[in-house]
Structure 1
Amino acid sequence: MKNLLVILFSQALVNNFMLARILGTCPFIGVSQQVETATGMSLAVVFVMTMASAISWLVQHLILNPLNMGYLQTVAFILVIAALVQLIEMLLKKNSPGLYKALGIYLPLITTNCAVLGVAIVNIGAGYSFVESAVSGAAGGLGWGLAIIVFAAIRERQQLAPIPKAMQGFPLALVTTGLLAMAFLGFSGFNVAKFVGM
């Protein structure tokens, strides 16, 4: 149980996939104009990361490893992620058309979100068990979601500020992302294992 808490805190805060590993920047910048769409995107990413981590672990250990086909890992994981994104797209289109329309092109882009593929590959490389992989995926998604929601809230506030024309839009988004990454860097000295009593 304590090991799962260490994975949870380290993936969400210390080794945040967006702010520490710089994975998943395209949807991070593209969907962060409003907190509402950022929240919807983060929920979709949490679901996909969790499921992709669990299913990728099964694919790796039940199919690829027994058949000595580890070289197909990336292709297999991308297929798993693409299938999950299609499932989410169908569910959102049916149950939440407003959110589906707000996410637009960025919803199918979860398929190519390198953070989702990255968490699956990191889990296999770390030698996590099935449960640890699922927790790592959920924590990675929660960390990415936390980062995009905080970033979207900051960007909403920036829209009210008198910003020089040269800094408006993408330049300010990059500077803000850098400052947010520096803020999360404060967690790097945090000893998670000591915190949970290991």
Structure 2
Amino acid sequence: MIEHIELFFKSIFIDNMVFAVFLGMCSYLAVSKKVATAVGLGAAVIFVLAITVPLNWLLDQYLLQPGALSWLGDEYASYDLSFLSFIMFIATIATMVQLVEIVVEKFSPSLYNSLGIFLPLIAVNCAILGGSLFMQSREIETFGLALNYGVSSGIGWFLAILAIAAIREKIRYSAVPAPLRGLGITFIITGLMGIGFLSFGGMLTGGDEETEAPKTVQTIEIEKEQTEDAKTLAENTKTID
């Protein structure tokens, strides 16, 4: 349980796709001018990551890893299909994005029109592929952790684009210096938000086990004297006996 909670908060704040590794910056900058549009795209990213990361985990565990085909028989245990990882991951992502596009177009035409080309471009959003690749490189062990990582990574990306969209809506009425208007001030705000998100790392620092303070030279000498006194006392006791 603790492992799930730690992974959840770490993926949202500390290892945020936007602020920590700068993935998905194209959509983050282009679709963050209005909060409503940012919410729609962020929700779509959460859905795609929540589906593709666990599916790709299953593909990695039972198809792509060296020896993953052992469940088919001993003669397949030596097969290594890891070179197909990129192709399989991208195929899964493209399929899910196509499903999202169909659903959004059916139930929310206004959101579909406002997102425009950036909705189908989720398929090539590096944050989506990055979620599956990070899942693979970090060797996430269970399906539950893979689902947790997909959802929490999507939530982190959602919070990032929602926050910058809300700030950009308000900043229109601010007296921003001319050279910094547009992407200039957006990058500055993104950097400041990144620092703020990384500060949540203090939530996950362990403090349960007390660490032993380093011994000074004086402390070592005192311990030696106590040891010698104990030995002398033991020798004197034996002599008296």
Q: Please indicate, yes or no, whether the TM-score normalized by the shorter chain is above 0.5.
A: yes
Name the structure 2 match of 1:131: 144
Report the more deviating stretch, 51-60 or 62-71.
Answer: 62-71
Name the structure 2 match of 1:18: 18
Bigger Cα Rg: 2
Residues 99 and 193 of structure 1, relative CA distance in 2, 3 Å threshold: farther
| In structure 2, C-alpha distance between the alignment counterparts of 1:109 and 1:193, rounded to whole Å | 40
Q: What residue identity is the alignment partner of 1:99? A: L
5+ residue gaps in structure 2? Answer: 70-78, 209-241
Name the structure 1 match of 2:218: none
TM-score by length of 2: 0.77
1:4-15 correspondence runs (5 A)? 4-15=4-15
Is residue 102 of structure 2 the alignment partner of residue 90 of structure 1?
A: yes
- Conserved? CA contact 2:6–2:204, under 8 Å: no
Is residue 70 of structure 2 the alignment partner of residue 74 of structure 1?
A: no
| In structure 1, C-alpha distance between the alignment counterparts of 2:207 and 2:106, rounded to whole Å | 45
Is residue 204 of structure 2 the alignment partner of residue 191 of structure 1?
A: yes
Q: What residue identity is the alignment partner of 2:138? A: A
| In structure 2, C-alpha distance between the alignment counterparts of 1:193 and 1:5, rounded to whole Å | 14
| In structure 1, C-alpha distance between the alignment counterparts of 2:58 and 2:103, rounded to whole Å | 24
Is residue 1 of structure 2 the alignment partner of residue 38 of structure 1?
A: no
Count of residue pairs the alignment pairs up: 195
**RMSD between superposed Cα atoms in Å:** 1.5
- Conserved? CA contact 1:32–1:148, under 8 Å: yes
| In structure 1, C-alpha distance between the alignment counterparts of 2:177 and 2:139, rounded to whole Å | 49
Q: What residue identity is the alignment partner of 2:121? A: L
5+ residue gaps in structure 1? Answer: none
Is residue 200 of structure 2 the alignment partner of residue 167 of structure 1?
A: no
Name the structure 1 match of 2:48: 48
State the Cα distance separating 1:62 from its structure 2 match: 2.0
1:104-143 correspondence runs (5 A)? 104-128=116-140, 129-143=142-156
- Conserved? CA contact 2:31–2:38, under 8 Å: yes
| In structure 2, C-alpha distance between the alignment counterparts of 1:192 and 1:50, rounded to whole Å | 27
> Percent identity among equivalent residues?
35
User: What is the DSSP-based 3-state SS (H/G/I as helix, E as strand, rest coil) of the residue aligned with 1:190?
Assistant: helix
TM-score by length of 1: 0.93
State the Cα distance separating 1:190 from its structure 2 match: 2.7
Ranked by relative contact order (alpha carbons within 8 Å, sequence separation 6 or more), the top structure is 1
Residues 90-122 of structure 1 show CA distances to partners (whole Å, capped at 9, x for unaligned) of 000001001111111111111111111111111
Is residue 112 of structure 2 the alignment partner of residue 100 of structure 1?
A: yes
State the Cα distance separating 1:192 from its structure 2 match: 6.1
Q: What residue identity is the alignment partner of 1:190? A: M
Residues 38-74 of structure 1 show CA distances to partners (whole Å, capped at 9, x for unaligned) of 1111100000011010110111122223241101111
